[in-house]
Chains A and B, each alone.
Chain A
Amino acid sequence: MVGGLTLACALVAALAAVLVIVQKDVLHSALALIVVLLALAGIYAGQGAWFIAAIQVIVYAGAIMVLFMFAIMVLESRREHPSKLASARLHRLAAVLAGAALCLGMAGSAQAPTASVAPAAGVPEISAILFSEFLLPFELVGILLLVAVVGVMTLTGHAGRTE
């Protein structure tokens, strides 16, 4: 049952990820990315990582994608212009080949792990790790978020004052 749901989520994520890349309209790309993120949240839940699944939905599919939608609507850059670079078509071919080679290389170098029953990890277990062994990275992330907020205010606010 859980395996079937996880497989379905994996299929949806794989197909929607293709849509993210091939859609010409950036807004459609964003919608497909939301589908990918939600499917990944389903996979996390199937692995027993409920907390990460919830964070994925709330922060990623919620906050980050709303920010994306906001930027797309504000910047009105939905359609991509044809590239002005001379050999863009060649670049695209090279990019697709590089991606395929990367995928093959990683698949070749990895050994498939054995299937297992996932233990359940709730908020207490994760927070116990976060506030003991991961205390320094946790605090650094807090500082990073603060610096990001101040930086965003400086970037967008300063440009507005000079006009």
Chain B
Amino acid sequence: MTLSAVLLGLSFWLFALGVVGVLIRQSPLAVFMSIELMLNAANLLLVLGFGKPELAGAALHGLAGAFIIIAVAAAEVAVGLAIMVAVYRTEHEVDLDLASVLKG
């Protein structure tokens, strides 16, 4: 079992844990953290591609993609937490079961 295989498995593990976390957690903050786990699993894959010499020409593209994903994650977290603050102002509690205002 090579090191790359271990890291590939770690990426799968992080993504699967992120999916499980999104589905089982109640707090939207914890759901956000699970989404971060999934984003990091994808980033790990992008950086792993960088270490492969047969991808030499395209390897740096993975790093650029990882850079952009981190920036997008920062924007996503800022907007998401602002939405949570807005929900907290109306419900005085942050709970995914209570955030059903937009439900038709």
Contact = CB atoms under 8 A, between A and B. Distances in A.
Contacts of B83: 155
Given A145-B74, A156-B86, A114 B2 contact: yes
Nearest to B88: A75
A21 B25 contact: yes
Contacts of B64: 126, 129-130, 133-134, 137
Q: Is the interface of B mostly helix, strand, loop or mixed?
A: helix
Task: Categorize the interface residue count of chain B.
Answer: 35 or more
B45 to A, nearest CB: 10
Contact of B40 (A40, A95, A149): A40
Interface string B35-71: 0110010011001101111001001110110111011
* A68, A96, A155 — most chain B CB neighbours (10 Å): A155
* B40, B64, B93 — most chain A CB neighbours (10 Å): B64
A118 B50 contact: yes
A70 B78 CA distance: 11
A106 B12 contact: yes
Contacts of B34: 20-21
Contacts of A126: 60, 63-64, 67
Interface residues of A, number: 86
Interface in A115-162: 115-119, 121, 125-126, 129-130, 133-134, 137-138, 141, 144-145, 147-149, 151-152, 155-156, 159-160
A112 B19 CA distance: 23
A122 B19 CA distance: 33
A116 B50 CA distance: 10
A96 B20 CA distance: 6
A7 B59 CA distance: 22
A80 B30 CA distance: 9
B15 A3 contact: no
Contacts of B74: 59, 63-64, 145
Q: List the 4 closest A-B pairs by CB distance, nearest first.
A: A95-B23, A112-B5, A99-B20, A148-B75
